[in-house]
Amino acid sequence: MNKLTDEILNKYIDGELESFELAEVKNEIEKNDEVLARLKALRLVDNSLKQMEVEYAPVNFSEKVMKAISNASKAVKPKISYFFVTIITLFSIAVLGVIVAAFISIDDGNGQSTMSPYMDKAKEVIGKNLTAFQTFFSNQNVLLVVSISTLILLITVYLTFEAHKIFKEKLNSYSR
């Protein structure tokens, strides 16, 4: 044997060694004072453990502890992160601010709205380009590509939400 570990010495104390191992351990104990000291210390611990009074846990102890842990974990409310809500709120306020600023800048100061020329220009641009859009989207190949792209996008969004839901359930199951 190269080195006697505490595990081998404990097996020696408990009488669990094979006959060839037993001879090697006895030989090492006789030659090495350090091993003998460790053996004496392990025998002292073994005797102390054998003399200890055994106290048994109450009936259903494990179930009671697990129930108490479960009740305590249910009492703890999960911490809600308001980061996303704050970002959306700030973004919404910024958009509303831009819209309000746009409407304020449209008024020319004498009470009349200058929105009419802009509306006329918008109608003109839409009218000119509307026929081009209708022609472009009347092509069957374009409609097929757009339809397939939309379907792929919807499936991707659905799978993303499902994966997030499954991940959240797994995460919650680990925290219980």
- Is 39 within 8 Å of 29 (Cβ atoms)? yes
The DSSP call for residue 70 is H
Per-residue pLDDT, 155: 92
Q: Write down how long the chain is.
A: 176
Would you place residue 41 in the very low, low, confident or very high pLDDT band (cuts 50, 70, 90)? Answer: very high
Alpha-carbon distance of 90 to 84, in angstroms, equals 10
Q: Which residues, at least 6 apart from 175, have a Cβ–Cβ distance to it below 8 Å? A: 73
Digit-coded pLDDT (tens) for 88-146: 888 899 888 887 766 666 655 555 555 566 666 777 777 777 777 777 777 788 778 88
Exposed / middle / buried, residue 21 (Cβ in 10 Å: 0-12, 13-18, 19+): middle
Report which residue type is found at 5: T
Residue range 46-67: average pLDDT? 87
- 3-state class of 32 per DSSP? coil
- Is 29 within 8 Å of 53 (Cβ atoms)? no
Alpha-carbon distance of 22 to 101, in angstroms, equals 94
Place of tokens 């680990």: 174
Percent of the chain predicted with pLDDT > 70: 82
Alpha-carbon distance of 158 to 163, in angstroms, equals 9
Digit-coded pLDDT (tens) for 76-86: 676 777 777 78
12, HSE (Cβ side, Cα atoms, 13 Å): 23
Q: Is the pLDDT of residue 152 over 90?
A: yes
